[in-house]
């Protein structure tokens, strides 16, 4: 495996949705998540990381060191037990040896991309692998302007059973959509955690950028509508601890709707302004 990254990074993602539901809320009938105080749309970090994981799984299928831990296949405890087997450690022992837990944890970081990227809680079951705080962290995405969610009535002609078949020609249903929303999400990459904990490398970093750029391309569905990653801005620090506060860098990118636009319906309805005068030791990269 390569050496861990040596530079700290922050990044800003701009993506939009058209006629779709970017992130349904199961507590609200799967309607799009909306801040009730501001009416701004929300997409959770969990949703964004799921799409990154899905892309990596497709792009690196069958390759060693790029397995995905958090996915719907086998239970997590079975994967933790696998780490103990691979490292020749004693399984199902009471009072786990700290050195054994660390070895198992290092195995998980080495073999699972999402563990060495986002971290994981692996302290369950008989063969625990501890808790890892990953170097890559992503905030909730928020829409630039308030969004309006509407339930659209749909019909279905195919019936599921004989009772419904005799009830009429078609059935009614609903789907919740946002007509348009431009979202902004911000993220952080810690070189210190990469070096001391997970081993997140330069090739992992490049894969992460590619996954962010393409996260919606293999995730299209009728429910999500048209989702596009529009921009990816990166701030690269010279040092592993960083050369400027993250909020100072995030403030250098402003996104506002154009003066003549009342209800945004396209990405072109917005103006992006970038202050390219960076603090000493920080490099600005427009990746997309």
Q: How far is 243 from 98, CA to CA, in rounded Å?
A: 35
Is the CB of residue 15 less than 8 Å from the CB of residue 228? Answer: yes
Q: How far is 115 from 68, CA to CA, in rounded Å?
A: 8
The helix-helix angle for 202-214 and 45-59 (nearest 10°) equals 110
Beta carbons within 10 angstroms of residue 133's beta carbon: 13
pLDDT for the residue numbered 165: 64
Nearest CA-CA partner of 103 in 122, 116, 117, 87: 87
Nearest CA-CA partner of 80 in 65, 94, 91: 91
pLDDT for the residue numbered 174: 81
Is the CB of residue 169 less than 8 Å from the CB of residue 159? Answer: no
Transcribe 17-86 into DSSP letters.
EEEE-SSEEGGGTTEEPB-TTT-EEEE-HHHHHHHHHHHHHHHTTT-TT-B-SSSSSS-HHHHHHHHHHH
* pTM, full prediction: 0.91
Q: How far is 89 from 35, CA to CA, in rounded Å?
A: 48
pLDDT for the residue numbered 28: 87
pLDDT for the residue numbered 157: 73
Considering only the C-alpha atoms of the chain, give the largest distance between any 2 of them, rounded to a whole number of Å.
73
Is the CB of residue 47 less than 8 Å from the CB of residue 221? Answer: no
Is the CB of residue 110 less than 8 Å from the CB of residue 1? Answer: yes
Query: Measuring CA to CA, how many Å separate 226 from each of 31, 37, 229?
Result: 17, 26, 10
pLDDT for the residue numbered 262: 93
If you ran DSSP here, which 8-state letter would residue 170 be given?
-
Please, which residues have CB within 8 angstroms of residue 261's CB and are 6 or more apart in sequence? 269
Q: How far is 14 from 143, CA to CA, in rounded Å?
A: 9
Alpha carbon 48 to its chain centroid, in Å, reads: 2
pLDDT for the residue numbered 197: 93
pLDDT for the residue numbered 167: 65
SS3 label, residue 182:
strand
**Mean pLDDT of residues grouped by 10 in the chain (288 residues)?**
91 97 91 95 97 96 93 91 90 78 94 96 90 96 95 77 67 86 98 95 97 94 93 97 96 96 95 96 96
Is the CB of residue 235 less than 8 Å from the CB of residue 16? Answer: no
């Amino acid at each position: 495996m390569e050496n861990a990254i040596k530079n700290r990074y922050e990044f800003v993602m701009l993506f939009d949705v058209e006629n779709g539901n970017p992130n349904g809320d199961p507590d609200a009938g799967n309607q799009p998540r909306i801040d009730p105080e501001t009416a701004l749309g929300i997409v959770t970090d969990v949703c964004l990381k799921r799409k990154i994981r899905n892309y990596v799984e497709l792009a690196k299928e069958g390759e060693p060191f790029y397995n995905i831990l958090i996915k719907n296949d086998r239970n997590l405890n079975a994967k933790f037990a696998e780490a103990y087997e691979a490292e020749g450690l004693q399984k199902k022992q009471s009072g786990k040896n700290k050195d054994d837990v660390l070895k198992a944890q290092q195995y998980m970081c080495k073999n699972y991309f999402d563990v060495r990227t986002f971290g994981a809680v692996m302290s369950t079951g008989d063969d625990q692998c501890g808790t890892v705080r990953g170097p890559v962290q992503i905030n909730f995405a928020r829409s630039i302007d308030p969004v309006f969610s509407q339930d659209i009535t749909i019909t279905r002609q195919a019936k599921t059973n004989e009772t419904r078949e005799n009830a009429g020609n078609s059935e009614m249903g609903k789907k919740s959509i946002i007509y348009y929303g431009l979202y902004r999400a911000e993220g952080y990459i810690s070189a210190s955690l990469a070096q001391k904990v997970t081993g997140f490398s330069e090739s992992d970093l490049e894969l992460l950028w590619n996954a962010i750029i393409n996260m919606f391309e293999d995730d299209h569905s009728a429910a999500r509508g048209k989702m596009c990653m529009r921009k990816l801005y990166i701030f690269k620090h010279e040092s592993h601890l960083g050369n400027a506060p993250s909020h100072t860098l995030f403030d250098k990118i402003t996104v506002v709707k154009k003066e003549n636009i009342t209800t945004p319906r396209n990405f072109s309805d917005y103006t992006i302004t970038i202050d390219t005068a960076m603090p000493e030791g920080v490099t600005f990269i427009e990746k997309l």
